[in-house]
Amino acid sequence: MTKGINMALSFKKKKRLMIVLVFAVLACSLIGALANKKYSLVQQVKGEVDEQLSIQENGAARYLAKLIASDAILAYFSHQLSDALQKNELALLLDPSNSAARARLISIKNELKSRIDESYARGVANYQSMHYSMAIQDWESCLTLIANRSDEQYKKIEGYIALTAAKKEGDI
């Protein structure tokens, strides 16, 4: 009989131990779930903070782009087309959604191209008429209108100027 009682007690102890283990596993799972929830909550808050910072940065970039674009307008009306072009490009870099700056940029590029073509054609006409000094002046005015010194057209015109200068001096 005592053996049966001992077995029954032993069974109760095992049952209690099993219950304790089950509760321990549940507790660990719950702690893990809470930790994951905390982690996801932290990630969510971090995302919201990043979004607010991004909005503030974009707001600052847009404001700066508007200032630069207004400066570009002043440069345009002061007939400083190369400067106006560079400032509009910078404004668009800061705020690609600035449609006014985009429209001005297209207008400025077209006007610059027209002025460059006119000066270039005058230079060719002066060169053909053997007015080498005037041709050089016309081509030099082209160079002041071309913003990018590595531009192929810029290098070509520099070559014409050097060739014409040499011809003017009688070296060719």
Cα–Cα distance measured from residue 148 to residue 62, given in angstroms and rounded to the nearest whole number: 26
Instruction: Of 34-48, 59-73, 88-102, give the lowest mean pLDDT range.
Output: 34-48
pLDDT in tens, 90-148: 888 888 888 999 999 999 999 999 999 999 999 999 999 999 999 999 999 998 888 77
Q: Mean pLDDT across the chain, nearest whole number?
A: 77
Both ends of the chain: CA-CA distance in Å? 130
Q: Which helix (H) or strand (E) holds 81?
A: helix 81-94
The residue ranking higher by pLDDT, 38 or 89, is: 89
Both structure tokens of 48: 């919201």
Residues 6+ apart with CB under 8 A from 115: 81, 145
Cα–Cα distance measured from residue 151 to residue 141, given in angstroms and rounded to the nearest whole number: 15
Cα–Cα distance measured from residue 108 to residue 70, given in angstroms and rounded to the nearest whole number: 14
pTM exceeds cut of 0.75: no
Instruction: Of 12-21, 60-69, 92-101, 159-168, give the lowest mean pLDDT range.
Output: 12-21
Q: What is the dihedral of CA 21, 24, 30, 31, to 10 degrees?
A: -150
Provide the b/e sequence for 57-68 (b: ≥16 CB within 10 Å): eeeeeeeebbeb
